[in-house]
């Protein structure tokens, strides 16, 4: 029965691949390489995704041609070419409006001290495929003959929904330790299970990750977080010890108990918040957002440092939002994320508890305006993070919090419509302040601007005349 399933899958996938091969960019490349007497095959992700019925986005090819020969073949049919990966045998081109990458067969060797291989070009497609990361990515479709090449049994592993290396995992991960993080990413991206022996190799070889650049590690972590369901991959990183080397604050959360939901530790709570944030992200029509997902994962990392056992055995985590913001900033800086991402994640972490005071007492309009002001351009992300942070099993409590946040969003919308609260600027800008007070640019203008902004937050729009009267009175009192 398994063999029949495999054959059925091959037949349906070949039908999809045949349609793909008929598209203009692939057909033109196939014709050009065949005319030059060179082998060409669609390889890796596109072939895998055809079997899975997933959209094909990237077009990667492998060939018997050398980089010089690739350029000679491709230039007449390409609107642009680039050679940024030439030292690794890769030539990029734009053919029939599509970006493609074509790489000479490879047969690399590794020194064991670096993930960068000694580049060696191979002479067979089978030799090229077995050096790739996982069997499901080690399949190719010869062009133009549409012959499937699968030396490592990738089709069977696709059917079994299994992640396994073509060579032994010890050799594969020893050659390129970044593949261990890629295993976690593909587990989430494809919804597959990582083979048991592959997991054992990840545990044994986790320390090898230290030869990988921080930038490459961060890139893989970002790709994992941007999958539809990153929980499986993150759990694999924690279970294999890789997370201790990449984002140690995550496994540290397993030791803490969430004061809002004693049935879960903070580690499980954080993964649930991430899942729920992704669901809100989708339901509200947003694209995958790395800032939101990092904030969802890291929002409680201040809890280990702030854990206190109060009288009666009650566990508290006072100020874990502020401490967590600092820790998130440090971790993301160490991972060399860009400054905008670092600042946004830290700010969301700092603000994630702000809403819970709303359920304790009715906020004034001034408090609502300040909530919007403090969130700034992160307001929509804060809406999602705050809603996702409710993981209690107590349905009554969950409903109460959801209704309260619905009310807050409605009030923000009403104030935005009535007052333009989304902008939250004083009634007089800097130039008007300088004109009224006869000032030159400087510190005093900033003080006056902040005074008017506080008025705006407390009382709403005043109008230019009233704002000018209040400003003059403040200035006279200040200088009395």
Task: Judge whether 91 lies within some domain.
Answer: yes
Q: pLDDT tens across 324-348, in order?
A: 999 999 999 999 999 999 999 999 9
98 shares its domain with 171: no
- Site of tokens 């509200």: 284
Which of 62-66, 323-327, 334-338, 363-367 is predicted with the least confidence, judged by mean pLDDT?
A: 363-367
- CATH assignment at residue 54: 3.30.460.10
**CB 385, CB 325: distance < 8 Å:** no
Task: Judge whether 309 lies within some domain.
Answer: yes
Burial class (CB in 10 A: 0-12, 13-18, 19+), 321: buried
Residue 362 has pLDDT above 70, yes or no: yes
Out of 129, 158, 187, pick the residue that ends a domain.
158
12 shares its domain with 110: yes
283 shares its domain with 227: no
Q: pLDDT tens across 383-412, in order?
A: 999 999 999 888 998 888 888 889 889 888
Contacts of 306 (CB under 8 A, 6+ apart): 316, 317, 318, 319, 320, 323
- Cα(34)–Cα(20) distance, rounded to whole angstroms? 18
Q: What six digits make up the tokens of 55? A: 């959209």
Task: Judge whether 254 lies within some domain.
Answer: no
Measured between alpha carbons, how far is residue 179 from residues 106, 134, 206 in Å?
A: 17, 9, 11
54 shares its domain with 191: no
233 shares its domain with 313: no
Measured between alpha carbons, how far is residue 254 from residues 123, 183, 267, 273, 386 in Å?
A: 50, 23, 5, 15, 21
> How much is the pLDDT for 3?
45
| Domains identified in the chain, total number | 4
Which of the two residues, 119 and 274, has the higher pLDDT score? 274
Residue 79 is classified by DSSP as S
Q: What six digits make up the tokens of 122? A: 């191979």
> How much is the pLDDT for 97?
93
* pLDDT category of residue 262 using cuts at 50, 70 and 90: very low
Highest-pLDDT range among 53-67, 110-124, 438-452: 53-67
* pLDDT category of residue 5 using cuts at 50, 70 and 90: low
DSSP-based three-state secondary structure for 120? coil
10 shares its domain with 135: yes
> How much is the pLDDT for 1?
37
Q: What domain range is 189 assigned to?
A: 161-246
Helices (H), 75-116: none
Residues in the chain: 480
Residue 469 has pLDDT above 80, yes or no: yes
Cis peptide bond upstream of 144, omega within 30? yes
**CB 124, CB 85: distance < 8 Å:** no
DSSP letter string, 360-419: TSPPPHHHHHHHHHHHGGGHHHHHHHHHHT---S-HHHHHHHHHHHHHHHHHHHHHHHHH
Task: Judge whether 150 lies within some domain.
Answer: yes
CA angle 97, 47, 77 (to 5 degrees): 30
The structure's pTM equals 0.84
- Site of tokens 């047969």: 107
Neighbours of 102 (CB within 10 A): 27
Q: pLDDT tens across 415-468, in order?
A: 887 776 666 778 888 888 889 888 888 888 888 888 888 888 788 888 888 888
- Cα(430)–Cα(443) distance, rounded to whole angstroms? 11
DSSP-based three-state secondary structure for 104? strand
Which of 219-228, 244-253, 398-407, 444-453 is predicted with the least confidence, judged by mean pLDDT?
A: 444-453
Residue 2 has pLDDT above 50, yes or no: no
CA angle 427, 433, 434 (to 5 degrees): 160
> How much is the pLDDT for 55?
86
CA angle 442, 445, 447 (to 5 degrees): 110
* pLDDT category of residue 239 using cuts at 50, 70 and 90: very high
Q: What six digits make up the tokens of 198? A: 């592959």
Q: pLDDT tens across 171-206, in order?
A: 999 989 999 999 999 999 999 999 999 999 999 999
Mean pLDDT score, 296-314? 87
Task: Judge whether 257 lies within some domain.
Answer: no
């Amino acid at each position: 029965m398994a063999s029949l399933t495999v054959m059925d899958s091959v037949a349906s996938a070949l039908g999809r691949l045949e349609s793909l091969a008929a598209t203009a960019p692939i057909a033109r490349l196939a014709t050009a390489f065949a005319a030059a007497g060179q082998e060409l095959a669609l390889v890796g992700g596109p072939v895998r995704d055809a079997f899975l019925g997933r959209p094909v986005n990237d077009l990667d090819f492998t060939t018997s041609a050398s980089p010089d020969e690739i350029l000679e073949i491709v230039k007449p049919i390409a609107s642009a070419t680039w050679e940024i990966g030439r030292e690794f045998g890769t030539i990029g081109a734009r053919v029939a409006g599509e970006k493609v990458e074509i790489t000479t067969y490879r047969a690399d060797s590794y020194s064991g001290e670096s993930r960068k291989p000694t580049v060696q070009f191979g002479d067979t497609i089978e030799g090229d495929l077995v050096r790739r990361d996982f069997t499901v990515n080690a399949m190719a479709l010869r062009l133009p003959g549409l012959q499937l090449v699968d030396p490592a049994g990738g089709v069977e592993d696709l059917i079994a929904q299994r992640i396994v290396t073509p060579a032994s995992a010890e050799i594969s991960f020893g050659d390129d330790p970044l593949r261990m993080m890629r295993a976690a990413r593909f587990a989430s991206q494809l919804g597959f299970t990582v083979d048991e022996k592959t997991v054992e190799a990840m545990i044994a070889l986790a320390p090898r990750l230290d030869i990988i650049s921080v930038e490459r590690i961060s890139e893989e972590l970002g790709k994992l977080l941007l999958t539809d369901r990153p929980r499986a991959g993150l759990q694999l990183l924690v279970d294999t010890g890789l997370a201790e080397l990449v984002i140690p604050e995550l496994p540290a959360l397993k030791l803490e108990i969430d004061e809002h939901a004693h049935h879960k530790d903070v580690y499980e709570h954080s993964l649930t918040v991430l899942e729920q944030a992704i669901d809100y992200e989708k339901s509200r029509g947003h694209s995958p957002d790395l800032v939101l997902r990092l904030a969802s994962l890291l929002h409680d990392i201040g809890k280990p440092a702030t854990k206190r056992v109060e009288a009666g055995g009650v566990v508290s985590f006072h100020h874990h939002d502020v401490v967590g913001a600092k820790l998130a900033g440090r971790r993301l800086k160490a991972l060399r994320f860009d400054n905008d991402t670092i600042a946004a994640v830290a700010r969301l972490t700092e603000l994630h508890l702000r809403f819970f005071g709303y359920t304790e007492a009715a906020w004034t309009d001034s408090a609502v305006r300040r909530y919007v002001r403090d969130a700034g351009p992160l307001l929509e992300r804060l809406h999602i993070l705050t809603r996702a942070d409710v993981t209690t099993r107590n349905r009554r409590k969950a409903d109460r919090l959801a209704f309260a946040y619905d009310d807050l969003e409605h009030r923000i919308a009403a104030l935005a419509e009535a007052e333009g609260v989304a902008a939250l600027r004083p009634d007089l800008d800097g130039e008007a302040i300088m004109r009224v007070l006869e000032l030159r640019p400087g510190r005093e203008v900033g003080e006056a601007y902040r005074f008017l902004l506080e008025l705006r937050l407390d009382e709403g729009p005043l109008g230019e005349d009233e704002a000018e009267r209040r400003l003059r009175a403040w200035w006279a009192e200040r200088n009395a």
